[in-house]
Amino acid sequence: MSDMRETQPTQAQQPAAKKGAKGRGWVFGVLGFIVLAILGLAGGYMNGRIVRVDAQGTLLSQQLAAQFDLGMQAMNAGQYDVAQQHFQYVINQNPNFPGAQAAYTQLLLKLKSSPTPAFTASPLASPTPDQSGAAQIFSHVQALLAAKPQSFQDWDTVVSTLDSLRKADPTYQAAQVDGMYYIALRQRGIAQIFAQPCQDINLEGGIYDLTLAERFGQLDGYADSLRTYARLYISGSTFWEIDWTQAQSYFQQVYLALPDLMDSSCITAAHRWAQATIQLGDQLLVKGNYCGADQQFKAAEAVGGPENATAQPTESFADRKCHPPAPTHTPVPATPTGGATPPPTDTSTP
């Protein structure tokens, strides 16, 4: 019996144990309340931050939309310099703003074709690693773009300066620099395809630049179609003097869309197509298909050019063979039966 009493808590010990448990429960309750309060404050802060960020994004979108509308109004009114400022602001803030890249591209084309004299920037030395900082290089690029570059060399300077900026600080104004790259590469590609003099035209280089520009933004319809027709021109050239049917087919596609497109040979797509058509006519003529040859010669003649003067004798020959003159018959006077010649009629008066 004595052992059992020793293993049981005394009456004095039992209230003390209950009091300790109650104390610990009070502490845990206070700690739980503090944790819940902290979580509530953190959640409220995060919710408030999200609301503020959303509000800022909505406000920025509204501002960009207003600037874009002002740019479109200025461009439609012929105020190209004002429109350029609005579009550049939109692209600097958000290069992917809907319609901004296409509108700015359209504006650049209008500036390029505008009859008003454009400011020509002074020739710049080849860019060297600039130690003055990314901000200064960025400002230099903005000044180059504001000078309205026109030629391939001008756009090459812009691209080279952007390369220096990315080398100095790859993260500096990344979105705006991407937008600048898009514009510079797109314009340099177009400038190579339409270079003056024509001996400086580089269709392959222009296609390459437009493909690079596509990495920074979707190409507009004009630039994309120009790249397509430049590829077709090159494909037609690969069949030159090898397969006149294929050459004619490729150059016909270019001729119908961009008849003045050419490469460094300075021969337009229209005259390429005419030459291939004449050569195809010669092949048909050798095979004895005079009418088919005549059709080819007449189609080429509609384009005009020195190649038609050379082919004129062959064309005339094919035309005569395809459309021979109708045979002429001289009427023979009828004779009486028996072969006797009728007596002459007496026309004398009695």
- The 10s digit of each residue's pLDDT in 90-125 is 887 787 788 887 788 778 767 655 654 443 444 444
If we measure between CA atoms, which residue out of 285, 283, 284, 313 comes closest to residue 301? 313
Alpha helices in 214-346 (DSSP H): 221-238, 244-257, 269-286, 290-301, 306-322
pLDDT tens digits along 183-224: 999 999 999 999 999 999 999 999 999 999 999 999 999 999
Instruction: Report d(CA 233, CA 235) in Å as an integer.
Output: 5
Report yes or no: 297 and 278 within 8 Å, Cβ to Cβ: yes
Q: What is the DSSP string of 144-195?
A: HHHT---SHHHHHHHHHHHHHHHHH-TTTTHHHHHHHHHHHHHHHHHHHHT-
The tokens 């845990």 sit on which residue? Answer: 28
Sketch the domain layout of the chain as residue ranges.
55-94, 133-219, 221-323
| Average pLDDT estimate for 19-30 | 58
Class level of CATH domain 221-323: mainly alpha
pTM value > 0.75: no
Do 162 and 184 meet the contact criterion of CB atoms below 8 Å apart?
A: yes
Give the mean pLDDT of 67-83: 83
**Listed range (56-60, 251-255, 294-298) with the worst mean pLDDT:** 56-60
Q: Which residues of 331-348 are buried (b: 16+ CB within 10 A; e: fewer)?
A: eeeeeeeeeeeeeeeeee
Per-residue pLDDT at 35: 57
Better pLDDT: 91 or 44: 91
Q: Which residue has the higher pLDDT, 107 or 256?
A: 256
pLDDT in the model for residue 306: 76
Closest CA to 306 of 274, 273, 277: 274
The stretch 17-36 carries a mean pLDDT of 59
Structure tokens at 216: 């920074």
Range 241-252 average pLDDT: 96
For 152-189, letters b (16+ CB in 10 Å) and e give bebbbbbbebbebbbebeeeebeebbbbbbbbbbbbbb
pLDDT over 90 (residue 331) = no
Share of the chain above pLDDT 70, in %: 70
